[in-house]
Structures are given as structure tokens and as C-alpha cells.
Amino acid sequence: MDQSLRPIVTLGFIGLGVMGEPMCGHLARRLGRTVLAHDRRGEPLARLAKDGVVAASPAEIAARADAILLSLPDGKAVESVLAELEPGLRAGQCVIDTSTSPVSLARAIGARLAARGVGFADAPVARTREAASRGELSIMVGATEAVFAHIRPVLDTMGTDVTHCGPVGTGQVVKILNNMLVFQNTAALAEAIALGRRNGVAPDVLLPTIAKGSGDSFVLRSHGMKAMVPRVFPERAFSTRYAMKDLSYALDLAREAGIEVPGAELTMRRLRAAEAAGFGDAYHPVVLNVIDPE
């Protein structure tokens, strides 16, 4: 199957949200191929038209694209879109799911498409919206060696770190565990801010000083300094609800493996408290507001 994947001349892209829109733009600008795109909203399609991206239905994308990328909110959305695409898919095409979705779903889709001669890779992305805009994402890929080699030039247009993690499903494993650590680190920062503030050290002194020592981290410098210190938690960023969704996938993995993860379970309780307090659509470091309310 892998050896018969057809050359990628036309690309499809479905899901032009916070990450998907800039990713699709990079494909059109950097790869020099025809890009067909679909989203339920017209605004991102209108913005991408200047880069030559052509609006199309899922059925048109399935019929015309050699490789189809998905950037969708969750596993349910991935299943829904695949149901629209699959009747039109043919042997030699390739589907690349850059969404974060359950490992079991990625493996089921991969097996189902492989039986029809269609390549599949789970290739979830990490880092921020700003990194997506610069084409500097970290992309974690689960695929056969041949599929990975086939799609690598496409992924290189969107990311500076593209890693083959193993067979189908392993990209999702790495991404889910990456996010589990981010959410736990964010909750730990909120605890540190709360303790520091109650002992006479302001957050804008605490975090920059810790950043000079062994407690430094990407989460401290990005989530901590840019969002938690000024307490700016915008919508249209990686929301509390998205964090809960991704962390639920990690908890599923833990249950399946028979491993206790009390740190992740505590973090989930705090995210749920943030959602219950009305912060479900806010940027997920808003968990600070329930750990250290002003």
C-alpha cells in the first residue's frame, strides 16, 4: 500500500480554527501546490483566499486531493468528517490528522483506511498559535516509515520539529502526554503564585526570578509570564474545555494501562472547577483564578 501512494499535487485541508488557519496558509504559500479547504465558517476561507486557497466541500476534497489534512476540535469531529470523506477516498490517497484525538480512534482509522489502500498518519501539533503563525510547530507523527517519508515535505512547511514517533497512534500518545505535563505544570505554577503572593512576593517578581534558576520551563515563560502574571486569559486560545478534553484522553490511557496518575486527576478536578466558575471558554491557565482568586 505505502509504495503506491500517489504524488501529492493537490492538498485538502479541513478545519481552519486557531491552529488550522495558519497551518493551511503555510501549505499554500510554501509548498506551491493547489490547496482546497473547508470550514463551517466563511471568514477564515476569505482570509486564506489571498494565498490561493480554494474553498471546497468535503466531497470535493475527497475526490480531488492527493493528501487531506484534518485540524479538528476532538475525536468526535474527526469521526464525523471521516464519515463524509470515506465514500470518496481511493487507493493511493493519504489522510493526515493533525487534531488531538484518542489513540484508539487513530489506530481504528489507520486500520480501516489501510484496508482500502489509503495511507494514514496521526500528526498532532504542539506549541502556540504564534508558533503556528510562524510555521514553527512541533509535529508528532504516528505512521509507517513509508507514509512518514511521503508526507514529510508537507509537514515541514508547518513545523520546525517533525518527529516520527512510531506506528499509527504513537503521535497521539506523545501529544496527549505532552499536554498532560503542560496542564499539570500550569496548575503547579498557580500554586506557586498563590503561595508567593501570600508571602509578600508578587507574581511579576516570582516567575522571572524562578526562570533564572532550575525551576524554569517553557510553560513558566509562556503560560506563566504571558498569561498568569497579567491575568489575561483570552477566548479563541487553547480553552479550559479543550484542556479537559485532551487530559481526558491521558486519563483514558492511564486506565487502559492500569497506572494511577493522581497528579493528572487533581489537575482535571481543577480544570473542572474553572469550567464551573464560568471560565470554560477562557485560555486554560485561567485555572489560576480558582487556585488563587483575587
pLDDT reported for residue 162:
98
The yes-or-no verdict on residue 45 having pLDDT over 80 is yes
Mean pLDDT estimate for the chain: 96
pLDDT of 68 over the 90 cut: yes
Domain 2-167 has CATH 3.40.50.720: yes
Q: Residue 3 — very low, low, confident or very high, per pLDDT cuts 50/70/90? A: low
Residue 66 pLDDT greater than 90, yes or no: yes
Q: What are the residue ranges of helices labelled H in the chain? A: 20-31, 42-48, 58-64, 75-85, 103-114, 129-134, 145-156, 170-197, 203-210, 218-219, 240-257, 262-274, 288-291
Any idea which residues carry the catalytic annotation?
Answer: 175
- Residues 198-213 have pLDDT tens digits of 999 999 999 999 999 9
Give the pLDDT confidence of 96-105 residue by residue, as tens digits. Answer: 999 999 999 9
Taking residue 46's Cβ as centre, other Cβ atoms within 10 Å add up to: 11
Q: What is the mean pLDDT of residues 44-72?
A: 98
Burial bucket for residue 152 (CB in 10 Å: 0-12, 13-18, 19+) = middle
Q: Which of 73, 85, 69, 75 is nearest to 36 (CA)?
A: 69
User: What confidence tens digit (pLDDT) does each residue in 165-221 have?
Assistant: 999 999 999 999 999 999 999 999 999 999 999 999 999 999 999 999 999 999 999
Over range 148-162, report the average pLDDT.
98
pLDDT over 60 (residue 260):
yes
Nearest to 243 by CA among 273, 207, 211: 273
Q: Of all residues in the chain, what percent carry a pLDDT higher than 70?
A: 99
The predicted model scores a pTM of 0.94
Inform me whether the pLDDT recorded for 1 exceeds 70. Answer: no
Query: Does 3.40.50.720 match the CATH number of domain 173-291?
Result: no
So where are the chain's domains?
2-167, 173-291
The mean pLDDT value for 11-18 works out to 97
Nearest to 171 by CA among 227, 224, 249, 226: 249
The pLDDT tens digits of the residues spanning 78-136 come to 999 999 999 999 999 999 999 999 999 999 999 999 999 999 999 999 998 899 999 99
The mean pLDDT value for 135-158 works out to: 98
